[in-house]
Amino acid sequence: MTPHDAIRLFTKTLENLEKWMDKAAEHAKARSFEVDVLAGARLAPDQFTFAQQVQSACDQAKYAAAYLGGKPAPSHPDTETTFGELGERIRKCTAFLASVGEADFSGAAERKVSPPWLQGRWLRGHDYLVHVAVPNFFFHATMAYAILRHNGVALGKMDYIGSLPVQEG
């Protein structure tokens, strides 16, 4: 899985996440509650809310594309509180991901990646992808899914996985 494959996988999963949010909106409508209540839902009192899980999934994807593609990361302040705003956040993120092309990832494995939380230390680009970006991205995407599932939204594994390039014959 090249960095470009990973970014395309993140894009697909964020697009899937928007569909989970559509199912949540249908569920809320059927149960006569305001879907934006779920933006503040969480699985434990000291854990991120659904909105924060979506923001974090977007940021993991955005920073992976920026650090490994050698591009500045656009600023996306964490101001979203509604499903409408979270949908826009996802689309801003996927638009940026689409702007980083396969050629931008040339040499990504050996790039020095030094996010602020490493306080001056760094990871090889390859190690950042394997040990940080991939597990963290799927952590936040799955937590977003788990919060909706815990709140009764009818999601199944194929909603999580989305389309598969299946071959016949």
Q: How far is the CB of 26 from a second copy (least distance, A)?
A: 17
Q: Can you give 76-114 as a three-state secondary structure string?
A: CCCCCCCHHHHHHHHHHHHHHHHHCCHHHHCCHHHCEEC
Tokens 């009764």 sit at which residue? 152
Residue 163 CA to residue 16 CA, distance in Å, equals: 9
Residue 114 CA to residue 121 CA, distance in Å, equals: 6
Q: How far is the CB of 147 from a second copy (least distance, A)?
A: 9
Taking CB under 8 A as the binding criterion, the range among 74-82, 86-94, 99-107, 121-129 that sits at the site for a second copy is: 121-129
Q: How far is the CB of 84 from a second copy (least distance, A)?
A: 25
Write the single-letter amino acid at 76: H
**Which residue in 7, 13, 36, 97 binds a second copy (CB under 8 A)?**
13
**Which residue in 25, 91, 142, 159 binds a second copy (CB under 8 A)?**
142
User: By three-state DSSP, how is residue 6 classified?
Assistant: helix
Residue 7: phi, psi to the nearest 5? -65, -40
In the complex with a second copy, the residue whose CB is nearer, 31 or 131, is: 131
Residue numbers at the binding site for a second copy (CB under 8 A): 1-2, 5-6, 9, 13, 43-44, 47, 112, 118, 121-124, 126-127, 129-132, 134-136, 138-139, 142-143, 145-146, 149-150, 152, 157, 160-161, 164-168
